[in-house]
Amino acid sequence: MREIIDLDRYPLDREGSAEWQALVASATAELANTGMFNLEGFLRPGVAQKAVAEIRPVMDTQSHTHKRVHNIYFKPDIPELPAGHPALRKVETINHTVCADQIATSLVQTIYEYPPLLRFLAATMGKEALHLMQDPLARINIMSYRAGEALNWHFDRSEFTTTLLLQEPQQGGHFEYRTNLRSDNDPNYDGVARLLEGQDRQVQNLEVKAGTLNVFRGKNTAHRVTTVQGNTDRMIAVFSYYENPDVMFSDEERLGFYGRTI
């Protein structure tokens, strides 16, 4: 893994060492203060480009075009809200997705399954352990956003989201987020409505470089990727880890995100 991950800068392989503990402490503090942390230069130089070269043939010929008009919840309705509530405002997402079963021997899968990475992430999140997702499609997704395409406002299903940016676009494609817009006890529908109407001044913008590992609290942090511009697509890997070792998507979820169930 030393040729793939910069283990000198990020000593995931030295669990329990002073350097490892310092990295965990720093990431944990940033996660608590801002809702996310970034490990810039997580991949060695050239590794992100090599990963893109592996994925490109599949992305260009076999990816699923995910084009959907949806609300921020990715649900047809919210029982406690009337159909016209501004928190249910419709937005559009367009991207291209490659699933885990299409890149079974890739660099990205090797990184996703690296045990020290799971133990490091669990430590930063205050979890006893994290497990690889069992879903053969959803465990790893590679998302490509081409010119004119974007991932619109949404909340994630999991408490934490882990991503690895593989390629930056020429322009646009910025990650925007609103930390702790809701909580497990307060859905804050009025706040969600203000966000969708462009009236939330706490929205932040993050420009990430290729090779950066990002972890954020996606369950209660609304986020989106702004519209990509130019001839270079934005390509990012999304890693799904859970405390429960047996997490699977439903057939309905697979069909909605990937256009297939198997």
Q: Kindly report whether the global pTM for this prediction surpasses the value 0.75.
A: yes
pLDDT at residue 133, as a whole number: 96
**Spatial CA neighbour of 159 closest among 136, 130, 137:** 130
DSSP for 107-171, please give it: HHHHHHT-HHHHHHHHHHHT-S--EE---TTTSEEEEEE-TT--EEEE--SSSSEEEEEEE--SE
Residue 159 has pLDDT above 90, yes or no: no
Asked, for residue 62, whether it belongs to a domain, the answer is yes
Asked, for residue 4, whether it belongs to a domain, the answer is no
Asked, for residue 128, whether it belongs to a domain, the answer is yes
User: pLDDT tens digit string along 4-16?
Assistant: 999 999 999 999 9
Number of domains in the chain: 1
Asked, for residue 8, whether it belongs to a domain, the answer is no
Asked, for residue 9, whether it belongs to a domain, the answer is no
Beta partners for residue 164, in sequence order: 213, 237
Asked, for residue 87, whether it belongs to a domain, the answer is yes
For residue 154, the enclosing domain spans 18-258
User: pLDDT tens digit string along 202-233?
Assistant: 999 988 999 999 999 889 999 999 999 999 99
- The pair of three-digit structure tokens given for residue 50, joined into one six-digit string: 């090599």
Residue 256 has pLDDT above 90, yes or no: no
pLDDT at residue 88, as a whole number: 97
Q: Tell me the CATH number at 176.
A: 2.60.120.620
* Of 192 and 35, the one with more pLDDT: 192
